[in-house]
Amino acid sequence: MRARCCVVTAIVLLALGRAGQASAQATADRDRFRISVNGGVQISSIAFDTSATRVVYLENAIIDTSYKISRGPAVDGGVSVRIAGNVGVGVTVSAFTAKNDANVSGAIPHPFFFKTPRTVTGTATGLRRDELVTHLLGIYAFRPTANVDVAVSAGPSFFRVRQAVVDDVAFSDTYPYNAPAFTSAASQRVSGHKTGFNAGADIGLRLSRHAGVGGSVRFSKAVVSLVMPNSTTTTSVDAGGVQLAGGLRLYF
Amino acid sequence: MTRCWTCSLACIALVLAVAGLHGQTTGSRGRALTIVPDSAIATRDWGTIVDRMVRGNELRVRLERRDTLITGRSVEQLTQYYKGLRVWGGNVSRQFDAAVLVSVFGTVYQGIDLDVAPPTSRDAARATLEALGGTLLLPDSEPELVVLPSDDGAFTVAWIGEVMLRRDIVRVFLDATSGQIVRRYSMQQRQAANAAIGRGTGVLGDDKKVSATAVAGTFLASDPLRPPVIVTYDMKGDVNRSLNVLNNLTPLVTADTASSSSNNWTDAAVVDAHAYAAYTYDYYFKRFGRRGLDNADRRLNNMVHLVKRNDIFTAPADVLDFYLNAFYCGACAGGVMVYGEGLPGGVYFSSTGQRYDYFSGALDIVAHELTHGVTDYSSRLEYVNESGALNEAFSDIMGTSVEFFVQPPGSGPMQADYLIGEDIVVGVTAGAPNGIRSMANPALFGQPDHYSKRALLPPDDDHDNGGVHVNSGIPNHAFYLAIEGGTNRTSGIRVQGVGAANREQIEKIFYRAFTQLMPSNADFSMARAITLRAAQDLYGLNSASYNAVRDAWTAVGVN
């Protein structure tokens, strides 16, 4: 029963595709707008460190954290307009979210002696990162076949990054206080914004006069400064990466 | 000093044979058997004897504890009894590896023949003691009837009690027949909540963290971060209240606790007493696994400012200890360390050319006094004659060891060395030395560095209990030589020390010997044997540390 359903669906899609090819051939040159909605993944290899301080036993405890952002789900949606010939402009908004762990290493002052820090290490889990990016696109589009649209684009990107950063550690400390034991890390979300750039390509397959599916690849990058909580120190953090996505295309 | 006692089972039979005979309350004659076995066979024989005495209830276990330095070992301290009375000075310590006897040391008395029914009552003895001290004895200070041996082999049934005088604490023995004092000596072991870390300035102007307790908007010098309660009391120069507290007439109360409204502590005497007592606890814990004075985290009380510095010129002589001394008093206010106030600024002793600062400002002095407390809860070395000198020496040894544990080695202020009290007793005239004793060169302060030069003084409180602060120079120097090596100036014997990097070995040997294996009546010769036993236990026969300890004792003339 289930196999039959799949077969029927495939036939319907193919039929729509054939019909679309015929009509698209006739009307594509008149397309002025394109809307795209994608879901996908952002692949990046961002690594950065933060350092926070807080007063413990009259001295500054130093809490260093090393983060690695690898991949996470991303969605985007955009609209483009053809200005003349193959050239157009567009805007796309993309959102990326990831939760990662980070390695924490703290230098905790001794309760009895000055200048006798002790080391505590542990892992901070589930540190959330959000990137919301507005990409402005200059587009060059062409159609290698009747039902395939290809567009390459580049332009500035406006990044807004929100990152959970470790600003404190909880530790158990018992006499004789030689080695505190890591219990957990506390984090706060900080944000920053910066202008970067993007470059990418999109390929669409028309399934009807106004609809199709497509895939895109986009690389974007910026270096964002994050201000640590309760501090004036900043940390420079890479943002962006390679987004691989696929979704709907609407043509008007 | 060349006693090397071994004993056969015949000795035991002799010991046991004399037990249980009836006689008179004084005049019984016998002799002391010193237990220092020099071989495994002798150890086994003495073990058999001691076992029999335990079964016969002549020896009773006073203290039994697990060895914190060697896994599987345990140590017992036993006290000799005669017809239910303690035999004063009859003590044995024995060490076991599981159930196997490893060592046994001590002294037991044979030939006791006494009628122990006292002609004088406990009430009469108490009245005599109270008259002596001018204060009532507390319920836990009741006189105890004991058998008191004397050097000539006689035994006396005596009442024993401790009395707080205005300037001293004395242990007094009253003849149970006549009520007369037959022996008396000083017990004052002296140096001739909510956690809130505060900042304090010590006597030498150094910054320290102060472990304090926040209470109702103020901060008290009560350490909540260490296992025992460590409290520092500021007596605010009220000498009468101080005396009443030490005499157990008035309890210490929260209002006596040193305090700061800001947790920035500026009273240097308070800061150092509080911090250094805690450092000493830390040393014992980290080095030996010991938990405070009684190894059970007994409360540590410090008292400072018992008098006002500037009152010294009009102060009565009987409170001069509150200026120019530090002492531990186990019977006072539940056990307190008392630190002298020192001399007013610009004042020094013309005889020595030395000025005295707050006594709590010297880490080695604080550790010294606390170690008297450790001794009270372990070997209970009698504070008279050679056992008293050993008691003093152990306090100096541990005081110096704490210095090296906490401070960097050197010869300046707050640096670790082999001088005692050098941070607060400072020479101000040309050639005047810093400190009051030297373990490296005892003669620098008039102490003997060799047994042949020991002071032979009467064992009473007018003569330093037989020179306990004088003859301590001999074991002190042995400890120094065992670590640093060198040549004894009197014997010319050279010692290969273990070196400063290995000082921990010698510290552990002496700690083990003095707190676990030493009976209360040990003399220098026994101390040699016991430290060698400890060295063998910890590092093996003929190890470098064993040889260093052996050669050091030989160099100072103790065999």
Task: Give yes or no for A113 touching B (CB within 8 A).
Answer: yes
Out of A58, A175, A176, closest to residue B209 by CB: A58
Chain A contact set for B227 (CB, 8 A): 175
Is the complex ipTM higher than 0.90? no
Task: Give yes or no for A116 touching B (CB within 8 A).
Answer: no
Indicate the pairing of strand B300-304 with strand B336-339.
parallel
pLDDT at position B505 over 80:
yes
Determine, for residues A114 and B209 on separate chains, whether the beta-carbon distance falls below 8 Å.
Answer: yes
Reported as a pLDDT band with limits 50, 70 and 90, residue B187 is: low
Kindly list the domain boundaries of chain B, sorted by start residue: 9-110, 122-186
Out of B195, B199, B225, closest to residue A58 by CB: B199
Task: Give yes or no for B211 touching A (CB within 8 A).
Answer: yes
Domains B9-110 and B122-186 share a fold: yes
Cα B527 from Cα B397, distance rounded (Å) = 14
Cα B384 from Cα B185, distance rounded (Å) = 7
Task: Give yes or no for B66 touching A (CB within 8 A).
Answer: no
- Interval B347-353 mean pLDDT: 90
Task: Give yes or no for B278 touching A (CB within 8 A).
Answer: yes
- Interval B234-257 mean pLDDT: 91
Residue whose tokens read 């009197």? B490
3-state secondary structure of A233: coil
Q: Indicate the DSSP class of residue A109.
A: P
Cα B184 from Cα B508, distance rounded (Å) = 33
Residue B550 has a pLDDT of: 98
Reported as a pLDDT band with limits 50, 70 and 90, residue B135 is: low
- A107-136: pLDDT as tens digits: 999 999 999 999 999 999 999 999 999 999
Tokens (6 digits) for B204: 């030498």
Please, are residues A167 and A229 in contact by the beta-carbon 8 Å criterion?
yes
CATH class belonging to B122-186 = alpha beta
pLDDT at position B6 over 80:
no
Q: Write down the H helix ranges in A184-230.
A: none
Chain A contact set for B282 (CB, 8 A): 112, 176
Reported as a pLDDT band with limits 50, 70 and 90, residue B533 is: very high
- Interval B502-517 mean pLDDT: 97
Determine, for residues A58 and B207 on separate chains, whether the beta-carbon distance falls below 8 Å.
Answer: no
- Name the residue in chain A with its Cα closest to that of B209: A112
pLDDT at position A3 over 80:
no
Out of B225, B227, B286, closest to residue A111 by CB: B225
Nearest-CA distance A223 → chain B (Å): 41
Tokens (6 digits) for B225: 């971060």
Task: Give yes or no for B262 touching A (CB within 8 A).
Answer: no
Walk me through the domains of chain A, giving residue ranges and CATH numbers. 2-251 (2.40.160.20)
Reported as a pLDDT band with limits 50, 70 and 90, residue A5 is: very low
Please, are residues B424 and B507 in contact by the beta-carbon 8 Å criterion?
no
CA B306 to chain centre: 22
pLDDT at position B89 over 90:
no
Task: Give yes or no for A252 touching B (CB within 8 A).
Answer: no
User: Which chain A residues in 82-111 lie under 8 Å from chain B, judged by CB atoms?
Assistant: 111
Determine, for residues B209 and A57 on separate chains, whether the beta-carbon distance falls below 8 Å.
Answer: yes
Share of chain B above pLDDT 70, in %: 91
Please, are residues A232 and A219 in contact by the beta-carbon 8 Å criterion?
no
pTM over 0.80: no
Determine, for residues B209 and A177 on separate chains, whether the beta-carbon distance falls below 8 Å.
Answer: no
Task: Give yes or no for B226 touching A (CB within 8 A).
Answer: yes
Please, are residues A155 and A138 in contact by the beta-carbon 8 Å criterion?
yes
Residue A12 has a pLDDT of: 36
For the domain made up of B9-110, give the CATH fold.
Nuclear Transport Factor 2; Chain: A, (3.10.450)
- Interval B443-448 mean pLDDT: 96
Residue B114 has a pLDDT of: 84
Task: Give yes or no for B285 touching A (CB within 8 A).
Answer: yes
pLDDT at position B85 over 70:
yes
Chain B contact set for A114 (CB, 8 A): 207-209
- Interval B200-207 mean pLDDT: 97
Task: Give yes or no for A175 touching B (CB within 8 A).
Answer: yes
pLDDT at position B476 over 90:
yes
Cα B363 from Cα B361, distance rounded (Å) = 6
Out of A57, A58, A175, closest to residue B227 by CB: A175
- Interval B223-241 mean pLDDT: 94
- A70-107: pLDDT as tens digits: 889 999 999 999 999 999 999 999 999 999 999 999 99
Nearest-CA distance A239 → chain B (Å): 42
- Name the residue in chain B with its Cα closest to that of A58: B197
Arithmetic mean of pLDDT over chain B = 88
- Interval A223-230 mean pLDDT: 89
Active site residues of B: 369, 469
Task: Give yes or no for A2 touching B (CB within 8 A).
Answer: no
Average the pLDDT over each of A54-63, B44-53, B130-139, B483-492 and give the range with the smallest value. Answer: B130-139
User: Which chain A residues in 40-79 lie under 8 Å from chain B, judged by CB atoms?
Assistant: 57-58
Share of chain A above pLDDT 70, in %: 88
- Name the residue in chain B with its Cα closest to that of A116: B209
CB contacts < 8 A, A to B, total: 30
- Counting runs of H as helices and runs of E as strands, what totals does chain B give? 13, 27
Residue A166 has a pLDDT of: 93
Nearest-CA distance A169 → chain B (Å): 19
Residue of A172, A174, A180, A188 whose CA lies nearest to A106:
A180
Give B186's Cβ-side CA count (13 Å radius): 25
Residue A17 has a pLDDT of: 42
Cα B92 from Cα A93, distance rounded (Å) = 88
Cα A36 from Cα A149, distance rounded (Å) = 12
**Cα dihedral sign for A238, A242, A247, A252?**
positive
- Name the residue in chain B with its Cα closest to that of A174: B225
Please, are residues A153 and A38 in contact by the beta-carbon 8 Å criterion?
no
Indicate the pairing of strand B59-66 with strand B31-35.
unpaired
Determine, for residues A175 and B278 on separate chains, whether the beta-carbon distance falls below 8 Å.
Answer: no
Residue of B173, B155, B161 whose CA lies nearest to B116:
B155
